[in-house]
Structure 1
């Protein structure tokens, strides 16, 4: 009889882990977590993400696991390493210190306690948690595993049964029989011949090195679910009483990985055979490399990597999401949406695809579709601070300020240190007229990070909106202390001077900003308006033309281009009448009525 569905998924997960097919293992874990959100499965998925170097996903899963169990040491270890890999050294040190405090208090798992102690010592000695000194997250954890392995309590040669020791060959034969049922031949955990180049001896009364490791792997794959499958599972695995110490609610992929690596160190033949035959390792390696290229800003190269993967597997969701993300960064939004859509068709439960398609649609101005996608993504990650943050910003940009306040308020409840959410919450509250709360939200963002330029910028705009020029100027000075070449600060100062009628001084500030960022349509339009105001029409027309020549990436900038077009025509008309009698100046009579209607 075939194993129960839950047990079958666990067996498949164990096999995928042993063959290092991390992306498919993540899909299995997604399915398991949709049925029941277990702490160990969250850590398992975080571990798989770490193998693909998706460190932000590692942190997200570890945060969820720690919400369920604040004393879970494995989550602290994985989270600390992820922060280190992202270069967030102070946060890595803080997480490891928190984990160590819990480890010292409970002392339940001495192996993890020692690991945390080592990692913390290295972090303190170097002043940071560096990838070179800490264990690399690419292929394996340190020899000292992140979880005490249950199977390490069981000898390789014996399995406990009713208080007696029995040779493990019985279990090996049962597993071998299970493989025959599944694959029709004796195979290793990947379903391939163990050593094709090695002649097999006729007498196989002793378990091979591969079978020993396979036995360990299958021990890990048997869960508490197997007890629910009754006698059906006993036909494959034997009676559950034959190995009571093996069954558990969940198993740690890092344990399995450690055992496989230990076994590989003892048997080079096994290691070579596994790697040389596994196509999935190559695919996941390329996937990881492609994602790294996206993170480094090398989008064209990343796309070429994903293209090669998709030539082999056209419906590979992770590769489609990766390529779509690269397209999105290149502003090829329609191509990005096409890839995200295909990823959703291939795997409708891919929450990341729904979220990224929502972001791409928001950039195109498709507000309703963007909100729908982000809302769908929330179904797969309820109360996700990341998605709440994204949806809140989209709601704000499309002027649904109440919805923005709801989403961003919910976001900061889940993620109290989300500085971006706080500053956008301030913008939304200000738009609703709740100025005191808006100021508090902006100040909270700055309190979290005093060098957060976006929050300083939004606070400056807030003070300008409430006509507090003195405080706005103070904020601009603080911005320039942080970054003297921050072009937006000069634009804000120009706006402040323009509002008080100091057009020539405004032109000076805006010119400095444009020397840093010549493509700022806001600064070009504002400087053109200042030139227009003081009668320097030639310079005004130049800036209006420059604004019209820029490529657009948002509806707000398109609105400025429309204004630039009309203002340019007004400037040209005024210049043509400048040296004539004042009575000849008749803007209403000379300008075509259709032009005026369009302008309004």
Structure 2
């Protein structure tokens, strides 16, 4: 039925437009132009949306992810999106879970689908920026996280990941500045301190690198052990950056 409605509008516009002068035809088409929101409502009317069912599947997906069942989580979250395709957080949950499962390209597609519906959804931008960063698309990561920090000035996630991205360019000054801001916004999280230590290390400032690494060590004593650094892969660090962090650790 919704296709018939859209098709009827198109045929009607075409018929009337063919019989009208050029200026009138352009005016008519402008009048009939539908906003993206209206187009989506025609393609997926409200009576087909099951918000309650979508919420139940979202919770099921979250629970499965907490139990490290990423396959089950993705299946449940896909259902949540299908039941309510207007709910942007569902896309973020699904995209982030796909990212955790290592399906980076699909995660990026999913997150962008959500951001089409709300381009200023900060959690979605944060997740997308991380996916780009881990993929190695530094330009896209920087652009996405810059948008996220512009929308939310106290966005520690954006500053932290921008530091990692700038360090890889490399743009050491920008890496230091963004890591410093991240440590101010979330001083009890060791990750920004490690990022700041790494940025100073790349600036050939061993003393500052070690001092900031010790800040991370005070928050989490496991940073004294080499094995613990492997988890930094899931925190946005590249393998090369982790090797550099290990070099800092050996200076303690």
- TM-score > 0.5, shorter chain as reference: yes
Q: Which whole-Å deviations, capped at 9, do the CAs of 1:514-560 have from their partners, x for residues lacking one?
A: xxxxxxxxxxxxxxxxxxxxxxxxxxxxxxxxxxxxxxxxxxxxxxx
| Residue number in structure 2 paired with 1:298 | 69
Distance 1:280 1:370 in 2: 32
**1:462 alignment counterpart:** 248
Match of 2:129 in 1: 358
Q: For residues 312 and 440 of structure 1, do their structure 2 counterparts lie closer, same or farther at Cα, with a shift above 3 Å needed?
A: same
Which structure: larger Rg?
Answer: 1
Please provide the CA RMSD for this pair: 2.4
Gaps of 5+ in 2: 1-49, 233-241
Aligned to 1:388: 159
Structure 1 counterpart of 2:79, from 286, 308, 314: 308
* Corresponding residue pairs, total: 189
Q: Secondary structure at 2:68's aligned position in 1?
A: coil
Aligned residue number for residue 444 of structure 1: 215
Aligned to 1:435: 206
Match of 2:24 in 1: none
2:110 counterpart of 1:324: no
How far does residue 394 in structure 1 lie from its aligned partner after superposition? 2.2
CA distance in 1, matches of 2:156, 2:205: 23
**Cα offsets for 1:148-197 (capped at 9, x unmatched):** xxxxxxxxxxxxxxxxxxxxxxxxxxxxxxxxxxxxxxxxxxxxxxxxxx
- Structure 2 distance, partners of 1:373, 1:322, is 18
Aligned mate of 2:116, from 324, 338, 345: 345
Provide closer, same or farther for how the CA distance between residues 403 and 295 of structure 1 changes in structure 2, counting only shifts above 3 A: farther
After TM superposition, list the pairs within 5 Å mapping 1:34-49 onto structure 2. none
Summarize deviations over 1:197-236 as a string: whole Å, max 9, x none.
xxxxxxxxxxxxxxxxxxxxxxxxxxxxxxxxxxxxxxxx
Q: Is residue 171 of structure 2 the alignment partner of residue 424 of structure 1?
A: no
| Preserved CA contact (<8 Å) 1:439 1:459 | no
Higher relative CO (Cα under 8 Å, sequence separation at least 6) belongs to: 2
Q: Per-residue deviation at 1:403?
A: 1.2
Partner SS, residue 424 of structure 1? helix
**Corresponding residue to 1:334 among 91, 105, 116:** 105
> 2:23 matched to which residue of 1?
none
Q: 2:98, 2:107 within 8 Å by CA — same for their partners in 1?
A: yes
Q: Determine if contact 1:442/1:458 at 8 Å carries over to the other structure.
A: no
Where does residue 29 of structure 2 map in the other structure?
A: none
Q: TM-score, normalised by structure 2?
A: 0.68
For structure 1, which runs of at least 5 residues remain unmatched after alignment? 1-278, 465-471, 476-600
List aligned pairs for 1:178-577, cutoff 5 A.
280-452=51-223, 453-454=228-229, 460-462=246-248
Contact 1:303 1:323 in 2 (8 A): yes
What is the CA-CA distance between 1:463 and the residue it aligns to?
Answer: 6.4
C-alpha spacing 1:460/1:321, structure 2 compared with 1 (3 Å): closer
1:416 CA displacement: 1.6
**C-alpha spacing 1:387/1:307, structure 2 compared with 1 (3 Å):** same
Partner of 1:69: none
Tell me which residue corresponds to 2:9: none
* Compared CA separation, residues 460 and 287, structure 1 to 2 (3 A): closer
